[in-house]
Structure 1
Amino acid sequence: MVASGSFAAMKSVPYRLQFVAYVLAMMADNIEHVISYWVVFQKFHSPALAGFAVLSHWLPFLLFSVVVGGLADRFDPRRIIQCGMLLFIVASSGWGFFFITDTIQMWHAMLLLVIHGCAGVLWQTPNQLLLYDLVGPADLPSAVRLNAMARYLGILVGPAVGGVIMLTLGTSHGIIFNTLFYLPMLLWLFWAPVRDKSIAVRRFAVRGLADIVLTIRAIGTQPVLTAMTWLAGLTSFMIGNAYHAQMPGFAGDLGHGDPGVSYSVLLAADAAGALLAGIALESWGRLKGTPRTAIMLAMLWSVALLGFASVRIYPVAIVLLFCAGFFELSFNTMAQTLVQLNAPPDIRGRVVGLYNMAGLGMRAFSGITVGLFGAAIGIHWSLGLSAAALLALLLLLSQRAAKKA
């Protein structure tokens, strides 16, 4: 992995502006989740709907990540991201309308969750390519870590800001107010630096779903890309972030004071661990980025979540979620950086899109492994069994990576 200094990406003024806009957009994303999940949970009390929230949020990544990566190879990624921001605004405004009129029905919620998922797939892969254009390969590891920190900073700040907004404006007007936080990213992209459009390899046609097969074949002979794509797919398929959608249920089962406060604290603990990991990795910079290290960190993440699913003691649950957040950011940022640095330049968008298809798209199925099974056997059992199975699969992947090293 190319070495770079602590917080090296922050030397770039365009990157600093992107970082601020990204934090605000991620905060808005998570404010929407906090408010919408809470209102929908209170109205429908449906673990199955919470599972659908995961499915609808991540299924667009499974179907369209490589396609969007191909579009970003060919066209200006800034405009694709802006389309995503507009869809986020539509989704938040839609929630606000139904909350104000008190006419929300289950199919309304399902539609808005799908719109939100489509917005995300238009945002994430082009934004990762934009990082490469803003800082170049030398400072890319720093940029990836810092953007991951920005993501978790949004998750950490989102519940707190969302709580203040709910108290002052209420859920209905609060989620409409939330649309303002998407505007900095939307507007900054009109002035963001334009990458070199003269590279001929960026003129490849977008071939739709056929790009998935072609990209898989292209990385088949590259062990690093293959291992990291498998890592992303396994962790996302088995667990992903499905336990976030079930967090109101975990908060109620732990029975510690007001469920709304407990819910926010649990989410914040997971985000705080990730934020600390980002700061530590940027400041220390001695953890060598290798496939085996990334897999080991993912194994520690699965152990922490297995513990969280098993305990019924609120303070211990907070500590375990903090550890889970720490390990999740560590292995995710390491894997993403390895993919970007090792991706062939002519198909970087497609390779990053394939990684996101595995790392984000496969989370759609975690809505089944954790969400829908949770409705049948209980969310503690579904998360615990998924974490145990993931640990076994990661052990096999680690042995395979060691043989190819």
Structure 2
Amino acid sequence: MSEAISVPGVPRRFAALRNRNSRPYLFTSGLSMMADNTEHVITYWVLWQTFHSATLVGFEVISHWLPFLLLSVWAGSLAERFDCRKLIQASQGLFMLVSALWGVLFLTHSLHVWEACVLLVLHGTAGAIWGPAEQLMLHDFVDRSELPSAVRLNATFQSLGLLFGPVVGSALLVGLGPTAGIFVNVLLYLPMQILMMRTSFTGHRRDAELAGASGGARSGRSVTFKDTMRVLRSIRSNHLIIAMIIISGLTAITIGNALQVSMPVFADRLGAGSSGDLTYGMLLFAMGFGGVAGGFLLEATGLVRPSLRSAVIATAVFGAATLAFALTGSYALALLALVVAGLGEIASLSITQSVVQLEAPAGERGRTLGLYGMFASGLRAGGGVTLGVLGAAVGVIPAVGTFAAVLAVGAFGAWWYAARAGRATPGAQPTRSAS
């Protein structure tokens, strides 16, 4: 059984890139993501050179993802209630402030561990605020038939940012030094700020027009954590959304971060030797390239539609390719497996997010997307714990292989859950069509 989302019409290839409203956002989103990762390159290097603390390295990962776990649903409530342009400006402004404060601390040679921890948490908080607001903006920029294209291309451009962030960060670090480099990084967030000043979209215009209301914020009443939990009860009968959340959460807690942080171990296993830097860099590049190339390939072919079946298959491909990477001793096959894994990961991410976007109730879309983000991003904070525990018991490489197998099997488990739930509620009025 497969559930395909009802999307009117057949969208053009690269529809969101052709759309004059969403096109500027795609480019500025990729640029901001590149700035995010450029900051990581510079600050992580300085922190290691200054403190040589393995504990701080672990905190760098946790602090980036824990705000998503704790704040995503709340941030979704904010996105429902307030102008999403302002929320995106606030998030980008917080990114800029953090980069600038790093620069001041570097310049004055006054960096302490507690200051670093505060800035790392603020950086993660900015990302958590940005997530739901940007998804509502994508929903506003394009109509329903083009929404999967917008989600997929946004993920692709952000993958480009992830791919080039380390390159730009390294260039700034070597060419200008960490202090000047981090101040230059502040400027990379400006295009998004300027775009949010110029666009008339608020994240609510399209739904408001359909409802015959104004395009402003939905409600002025205060946002509470108790209020955000209501979305859990309201969507639990929608087995498609729940299945997407299960798949994204399972991805996050198994191999969401495991490949990146364990890559030095794989590089050593594959015989890095004197060319270790090149081997390590090529392994990281291969997966990033797979994500970017996969995103453009999926958009160009239009073969993959947002459905339960395609989400499960994409996630299973991601898991299977990662398992193949963990098992192979061939460098060439490892690179190929990582390219396929990158393709599967971006397909899984864009499909699950598109399904949640299309299925979410209009009045609760922000909180629903926040709930998705809590699992898809927030559970990555726990991924480091699971990798550390199992890795200590059986070794890092067997641990990654085990998690990859669990993800592939778990994706089909989510399919079984959705199919079983659909049969158990024959009287429901779905907003989707089977295929």
Question: What TM-score comes out, normalization by structure 1 length?
Answer: 0.90
Number of residues paired by the alignment? Answer: 405
Please give the secondary structure, in 1, of the residue aligned with 2:139. helix
AA matched with 1:227: A
Aligned partner of 1:362 among 367, 379, 383: 379
In the alignment, which residue of structure 1 is the partner of 2:298?
A: 281
Aligned partner of 1:240 among 237, 244, 256: 256
AA matched with 2:154: N
Aligned partner of 1:35 among 36, 42, 47: 42
Q: Does 1:136 align with 2:152?
A: no
How far has the Cα of 1:85 moved from its partner? 0.8
Where in structure 2 are the equivalents of 1:145-184 lying within 5 Å? 145-184=152-191
Deviates more, 1:28-37 or 1:379-388: 379-388
CA distance in 2, matches of 1:158, 1:80: 24
Where in structure 2 are the equivalents of 1:40-59 lying within 5 Å? 40-41=47-48, 48-59=55-66
Q: Does 1:269 align with 2:281?
A: no
Deviates more, 1:324-333 or 1:192-201: 192-201
How far has the Cα of 1:223 moved from its partner? 1.4
Please give the secondary structure, in 2, of the residue aligned with 1:279. helix
Compared with structure 1, are the counterparts of its residues 149 and 93 closer, same or farther at alpha carbon in structure 2 (3 Å cutoff)?
same
Compared with structure 1, are the counterparts of its residues 201 and 167 closer, same or farther at alpha carbon in structure 2 (3 Å cutoff)?
closer
Larger Rg: 1 or 2? 2
Deviates more, 1:184-193 or 1:239-248: 239-248
CA contact (8 A) 1:159 1:268 kept: no
How far has the Cα of 1:387 moved from its partner? 2.4
Structure 1, unmatched stretches of 5+, are none
How far has the Cα of 1:92 moved from its partner? 2.2
In the alignment, which residue of structure 2 is the partner of 1:231?
A: 247
Q: Does 1:343 align with 2:360?
A: yes
Where in structure 2 are the equivalents of 1:3-402 lying within 5 Å? 3-41=10-48, 48-100=55-107, 104-195=111-202, 196=205, 198=214, 202-203=218-219, 205-248=221-264, 250-251=266-267, 254=270, 255-257=272-274, 259-311=276-328, 313-371=330-388, 374=391, 378-402=395-419
CA distance in 1, matches of 2:64, 2:259: 13
CA distance in 2, matches of 1:257, 1:400: 49
Q: Which structure carries more helix by proportion? A: 1
Structure 2, unmatched stretches of 5+, are 209-213, 423-435
How far has the Cα of 1:184 moved from its partner? 0.5
Q: Deviations over 1:90-127 (max 9, x none)?
A: 22233334445555554443332211100101111100
CA contact (8 A) 1:51 1:368 kept: no
Compared with structure 1, are the counterparts of its residues 98 and 312 closer, same or farther at alpha carbon in structure 2 (3 Å cutoff)?
farther
AA matched with 1:189: M
CA distance in 2, matches of 1:215, 1:242: 30
How far has the Cα of 1:191 moved from its partner? 1.0
CA contact (8 A) 1:7 1:142 kept: yes
